[in-house]
Structure 1
Amino acid sequence: MTELQWSRPAAGREPAAAALLAWLADAEAPRLCVVTGSAGSGKSGLLAWLIAHGTREGVQRERRVHGFVPLAGQTALTAAWTLAEQLSVAARTPGELAAALAADKRRTVIVLPELHAAEDPGHVTELALLLLESTHVRLIVEARSDTTEAQTLSAAHSAVMDLDQAQWTDPERYATWAATRPTDRQTAPEGPTDDIDLDDPAAVCAADPWQVSIRYERSGDGHGGLRAAWLRAGASLTREQTPADRAVVLQAALGDDADPRLPERLADLAAGSAWQVVWRRVRGDVRPPWPGPARALSSARGALIVADHQGTVRLLAETDASPLGRLPEPVHQARAVAATPEGDVLVLDAQGNLHTRRSPSAPRATGLSALLDDGPTPLDRLLEAARARLAGSAKALAFSDELLTIGDATGRVHAFTEADAEPSSFAVRLHEGEVAALAALRLTVSEDGPGIPLIYSGGDDGTVRAWSPAAEPLASPVRSRPCPVTALAATTTDAGPVLAIGWADGLVEHHTLDEDGMVRTYWPGAPVHSLALTGAGTLLVGTDETLVCLRPA
């Protein structure tokens, strides 16, 4: 393979460029490089050259630039949103971005030009130092040498390149460049200064989302609840999209303390979007109460099963998320939940153990039937077989029509079903690495037939695969992206089967599995922990901040 050619940097900066490339390749060098110098010394031009070449397809691994943010006019929050999108992670805050990068041990090189021109250079400096806490992150930051931020970064364990020093310039090439440089250079125009009515949802949905974000950060007013909703979902709202799609995201992030006119107004603005917001629950809501971070979701019998970060499993009404009760015993570090038609709730914990709980709303046998049915149920036998096979190594869980499905850390998916009152099992390896999520449904072939069980498996390898027990899995993935799967849901609606996929970069995809194969997308602006689909066709999306119910438009 022919090595990509790198053009020369402008202004005779070949010595500086060579030093930057050597720093990138030196595993023993400090992981922070501070490029300083006076105004007009060529700092931004040098880093623009590095970014242009380091982001090309096919560039050598040691010279690859993975993320960059020109910081002029940016805040730490907007910079974090930009980097999260470029690095294919979901993050609402600088802290969440740092946590996401810490969890991904791959080498990551980030370039931050124009720190001195940021909206709040001090907070952006704190973001840079926070990212450096991950030992696989390398950072190149530009800051004028006479600024506090340059002094702070230079005092850290860093390599410092001061472009005012002669060693970083080839004088002959500089002279050649200067001779052809225009003498009447135009001053760069300032950013947009148009006023934006931050109280008007139509105005903020149609305006430059980065300007809206920065102005909401500056503002001390709540703007009827729009400010809190925007900053809660800003990582999504700043993406390229139509005003109608932006209105859906903003409505889904509104708290119940917002101006009561806003939900209807935003619903009107969302006309033409792929989604309608049926209801939403946001951290801090009291009418009905927010059910906590939705770490796991399931849907059955008109109720939603929601497990939070403390293992409390709540039941909510599917229609409006009003509380129906909770399971009597929490399951510590609940990872996945699945509801059965009989009213049992299966819970998988982070240690790979399977638990069963009885829903408080499920009917209970009484009298003679209770005496006659005191032996192990078909579900009991399936669980016993699964526990014996997996012994605490389960990572993902699904249940559908007497089919219990478990995924493990090696990429294998195990299916357990009953035949002649005896459990039978099937297993196949579907992923390189851990199984992250499972979903199952039964495809109807004929009105009087049993249907075909179909399992969808999502992995840390970024693939979603389909498999029917006792058959070979499909050779090609149903879906593949360069980031892990975080959640799956599948069901059969009146319009046909539907599959929902949550990804580590915060994307939710809704696939109709018919001939049209329509795909709808939704970005909640936060890491997606859980999904559920109802028989009525609605999609539930769970994050640490929100639980939202969407209907395809």
Structure 2
Amino acid sequence: MAAWPPLPPHCAAAGHALVQWVATADTDRSRLCVLRGGRASGKSHLLAWFLIGAASHPSTTAHATVPAQGLITDAVAWEMGRQLGYGPVPAHRLLVRIAADQRPLLLLLPDLHLAGRGPAGQPAASPQAILGNLLLPLLALPHVRVIAETGESGLLADQEHDVVDLGPSPFPGAAPPADGAPDFVALRGSVPATPDGRPIWAQASRPVREGILDAALEEQDGKAISSLLADPGFLIHGSAAAITAALRTPEIAAPTGLRPIWERAAPQLSSIEHDDVTRAALLQAAALGTSPALSEYLRPLAKQHVWTATWAQHGLPVSAQCQIPGNDAPLVTADPLGRLSTHNSGTGQRNGTLSSPTGIRPAGIAAADRGALLVLDEDGPLHVLASDDEDTAATVLGNIADHHGQTLLGAGNLTPTALGSCPQSPLAAVGDSSGAVHVWSLTTYQPAPRSRRLHSVPVSAVACTQDASEGMTFVFSSGFDGTIRLWETSQEPMDSPIDQRPAVVTALAAAITAAGPVLAAAWNDGELHLWHISSGKAEVLPLLYRCSALALSAGGQLMVGGPDGMYAVQLRLDRLSN
């Protein structure tokens, strides 16, 4: 207990009991601790006190703390996923990730009895939805323990649990209950407005932005609800949990297309760390192709961001992609079923299909030209797709595939795990299960690649780009240990990684741009990292949705593909280099 400050006498026993429960990871004890007590009895104070000293020892470390008041199930999952390093994932994917992770977890849910959002009578408005869809499935996992604050509600009383009870009496000196929440008219009247009466949501107080939609729902004021949901400014600044709960209620009228737009953007918009410009950029990207009016309305603010979305094909799943070398060359994509397509890289529109062998599930693509592709199957083998088997490029690609096929079948069992290419020249890099990276020309025969072992674990993604004017070839690779490494092939690889995080890179892309070499990395926690290699400057940005493939053009257009669709953003290269 030395790591914790003294507690007031009336809750000292409860504090000792809480720490003892946490520190005793005994299989005979329940993995659920319920914190009970009346209003202002000191429950929140006790949890805050616990968190002060919790990190002092591994046995008491809290891995995620999500105040549940006013949150729906997915909003709890989004925040819990962030804190656990998974990114803002929905509840069903969070459960899958935690089940696979297996590390012992202690999760805190303050104010669980105050959870729920949306119209009264809807499932999302009750804490029971969080219990059934998230908390109880979490407790079914043997490596998860939970402290849940339930007030005097009786929540979880039917579950096996231990109890820390502060009693019904208020904390000595506690403030009296606040008056009832202000109504919609009062809240709306407090929002600064333009001379013509339009609300300036950026200047509204946080309590107003958080509570005004709740007030409209409480009063069942359909006109007020519609006005809020139709206001792009409110969508940027309002409560993500409240808007999500409202839009998931079928009886509430919403502008055309807003529901799918919001579902794409809400996980990232739920973060309080994003500024107005970032939120506008995310919402504008989500609106592209669904609501031209909303997208164009948001574009001026979104253009102040490091990236601005230029096109989107939401719902078109992508498992791999590459840009064919050359100016204005098409983008080649593969879907999870192995079907290959070409797309106009300026608009995203599909303009052709390519034949591919049955049974291939592409995890990477590299192109020598429009008629010769090297494809990495998710199980490891490399395949050649060529319109002319006698073509030089087809022969070169066949040699690459044969080389890695032999290493796959050889004593080392070195399985290719990643494939990347250069957008400006016919160059490719292959990463393998030993952590090595191999660089090949896609048009000139090489008996063997240039190779270096850059990682001690399998390679998760690889990219390369060639600066012909400087005679330099940059190779970037990431390992499943969360490292990204740089190798300029005329020299030995850098000793230290250029980045390392407790996450996994799912895609890399690099290009020589007008600002110099730029690297983009997508991580499995929903972050996109951009590096200006010459200066070392980096930007950390949110991804709209999951990413399994990136392609970067010399002009600074970054194309993002994943199981939820594909979209392109134009990077502000001046922001990266200055």
1:121 aligned residue: 127
Q: Within the alignment, does 1:485 sit opposite 2:509 as a pair?
A: no
Determine the C-alpha separation between the residues in 2 that align with 1:456 and 1:203. 41
8 Å contact 1:225–1:255 — kept in the other structure? no
Q: Does 1:354 align with 2:382?
A: yes
Distance in 1 between residues matched to 2:393 and 2:426, nearest whole Å: 17
CA shift at 1:315, angstroms? 1.7
- Separation in 1 of the partners of 2:248 and 2:45? 30
Matches within 5 A, 1:145-184: 145-147=152-154, 149-151=155-157, 154-155=158-159, 158-163=160-165, 181-182=172-173, 184=175
Amino acid at match of 1:379: L
1:144 shift after superposition: 3.6
Residues 516-535 of structure 1, C-alpha deviations (whole Å, 9 max, x = no match): x4434431343322211123
TM-score, normalised with respect to structure 1: 0.83
Q: How big is the shift at 1:550?
A: 0.4
Confirm or deny that 1:140 pairs with 2:147: yes
Tell me how far 1:508 sits from its aligned partner: 0.8
Query: CA 1:310/1:129 → structure 2, altered by over 3 Å: closer, same or farther?
Result: farther
Change (3 A) 1:374 1:346: closer
Q: Decide whether the 8 Å contact of 1:107 with 1:136 is kept in 2.
A: yes
Shift of 1:416: 4.5
Query: Which residue is 1:289 aligned to?
Result: none
Give me the whole-angstrom Cα distance separating, in 1, the residues matched to 2:255 and 2:486: 47
For residues 198-209 of structure 1, the aligned pairs below 5 Å read 198-209=229-240
Aligned equivalents of 1:432, 1:21: Cα separation in 2 = 39
* Superposition map of 1:268-307 within 5 A: 268-283=300-315, 292-301=316-325, 302-307=329-334
- Aligned residue identity for 1:397: L
The answer to whether the Cα contact below 8 Å between 1:248 and 1:277 also exists between their aligned partners in 2 is yes
- Tell me by how many angstroms 1:382 deviates: 2.1
Q: Does 1:437 align with 2:456?
A: no
User: What's the CA shift string for 1:91-121, capped at 9, x where partnerless?
Assistant: 4411122222233332222101111111130
For residue 249 of structure 1, what is the aligned residue in structure 2?
282
Deviates more, 1:110-119 or 1:83-92: 83-92
1:432-471 paired onto structure 2 within 5 Å: 432-446=456-470, 451-469=471-489, 471=491
Q: Confirm whether residue 105 of structure 1 aligns to residue 112 of structure 2.
A: no
The secondary structure found in structure 1 opposite 2:309 is strand
Structure 2 contact 454–485 (Cα < 8 Å) conserved: yes
Partner of 2:22: 24
Range moving further from structure 2, 490-499 or 458-467 = 490-499
Contact 1:299-1:305 within 8 A present in 2 as well: yes
Indicate if the aligned counterparts of 1:418 and 1:424 stay in contact, CA closer than 8 A.
Answer: no
Q: Quick one: which of 402, 406, 420 aligns to 1:384?
A: 402
**What corresponds to 2:258 in structure 1?**
226
Change (3 A) 1:421 1:266: closer
Amino acid at match of 2:561: G
Counterpart amino acid of residue 18 in structure 1:
H
Change (3 A) 1:214 1:412: same
Structure 2 length-normalised TM: 0.79
- SS of the equivalent of 2:439 reads strand
- In 1, Cα distance between equivalents of 2:509 and 2:174: 62
Counterparts in 2 of 1:333 and 1:98: CA distance versus 1, 3 Å:
farther
Unaligned runs of 5+ in 2: 117-125, 182-206, 214-226, 573-578
* Residues 184, 263 of structure 1: alpha-carbon distance in 2 compared, 3 angstrom cutoff: closer
Residues 323 and 91 of structure 1: is their aligned pair in 2 closer, same or farther, counting only changes over 3 Å?
same
**1:436: how far off?**
0.9
Matching residue's letter, 1:350:
E
State the 1:318 CA deviation: 0.7
Q: 1:406 aligns with which of 409, 427, 430?
A: 430
Aligned length: 508
Give runs of aligned pairs for residues 5-84 of structure 1, distance below 5 A. 5-25=3-23, 26-28=25-27, 29-54=29-54, 56=55, 59-84=56-81
Relative to structure 1, the CA distance from residue 487 to residue 331 in structure 2 (aligned partners, 3 Å threshold; closer, same or farther) is: farther
Which residue matches 1:539?
A: 558
Distance 1:205 1:421, change over 3 A: closer
Q: Does the Cα contact within 8 Å between 2:368 and 2:393 map onto a contact in 1?
A: no
Aligned-partner Cα distance in 2 for 1:21–1:432 = 39
- Structure 1 counterpart of 2:463, one-letter code: A
- For residues 522 and 21 of structure 2, the distance between their equivalents in structure 1, rounded to whole angstroms, comes to 37
- Write the deviation string for residues 15-54 of structure 1: whole angstroms up to 9, x where unpaired: 4333333333314243332333454544333323223332
Give RMSD over aligned pairs: 3.1
CA contact (8 A) 1:80 1:94 kept: yes
Instruction: Provide Cα deviations, 1:55-89, integer angstroms capped at 9, x if missing partner.
Output: x4xx2111111111111111112111111222221
**Shift of residue 440 of structure 1?**
0.8
Q: Secondary structure at the match of 1:526?
A: coil
Per the alignment, do residues 396 and 482 of structure 1 end up closer, same or farther by CA in structure 2, a change over 3 Å counting?
same
Distance in 2 between residues matched to 1:542 and 1:10, nearest whole Å: 54
Instruction: Letter of the 2:528 partner, please give it.
Output: V
Does the 8 A contact of 1:90 with 1:525 survive in 2?
no
* Residue 528 of structure 1: aligned partner: 547
> Using the alignment, how far apart are the partners of 1:540 and 1:454 within structure 2?
20
Task: Report the residue type matching 1:533 in the other structure.
Answer: L
SS class of match (1:279)? strand
**For residues 286 and 174 of structure 2, what CA distance do their matches in structure 1 show?**
51
In 2, the alpha carbon distance for the partners of 1:499 and 1:463 equals: 14
Task: Please state whether the residue corresponding to 2:305 is helix, strand or coil.
Answer: coil
2-structure distance, mates of 1:246, 1:375: 45
